[in-house]
Amino acid sequence: MITVLLADDEAMIRSALAALLRLEDDIDVVAECADGAEALAEATRLKPDICLLDLEMPYLDGVEVAERLRRAVATRCIVVTRHARPGVLRRALASGVAGFLPKSRGADQVAMVIRRVAGGARYVDPEVAADALSDERCPLTDRELDVLRAGRRGETTSEIARTLSLAPGTVRNHISAVLAKLAVSTRQQATLLAEERGWL
């Protein structure tokens, strides 16, 4: 029997998928979680074979949960998302996620992926994989990415400068370069774009 923890902040989707998976003879849904923090705690406690994680959840997203679980327990993680962007796939794979598929897939396909991943294989949805192969490379330097990371929660230029041990003027220069390269007008827009494409 494959034990599965299911985490999704949308209650209707979570309960419907859990009910459908419970119809499978070889799958047992042992926990249903409404956010990333709960999923992390329950997975650490129950140690299921598979964690099926929504990408976008409160507190911790699916990739963050998978990354933390990789260091704590032997659970294998599958991330499902409504927005299967190529950059997100790269981030997920770098974090040790064993499966990645869009929410548009049916319960029978989800069950098939659970079985494959539980058997030791990796699974990436073919459409997402094709998009990832054709996706553009990051135009930002490592230091420019550091500046975006240090300011992703709205920190001021001075706070970013202190965090990175740089002069505030240097930080401003990096931010100007980022905005020009990404053709956006604010640092927040740049951060969102970089996150969507999996550069951060």
Read off the pLDDT of residues 13-30 as tens digits, 9 standing for 90 and up: 999 999 999 999 999 999
Q: What is the distance, to the nearest Å, from the Cα of residue 52 to the centroid of all Cα atoms in its chain? A: 12
The model carries a pTM of 0.69
Q: Which domains does the chain have, with CATH numbers?
A: 2-134 (3.40.50.2300), 142-196 (1.10.10.10)
How far apart are the C-alpha atoms of 174 and 39, rounded to whole Å?
Answer: 37
Residue 178 tokens read as 């980022």
List pLDDT tens digits, range 131-176: 666 566 788 998 999 999 999 989 999 999 999 999 999 999 999 9
Backbone angles phi, psi at 42, to 5 degrees: -70, -40
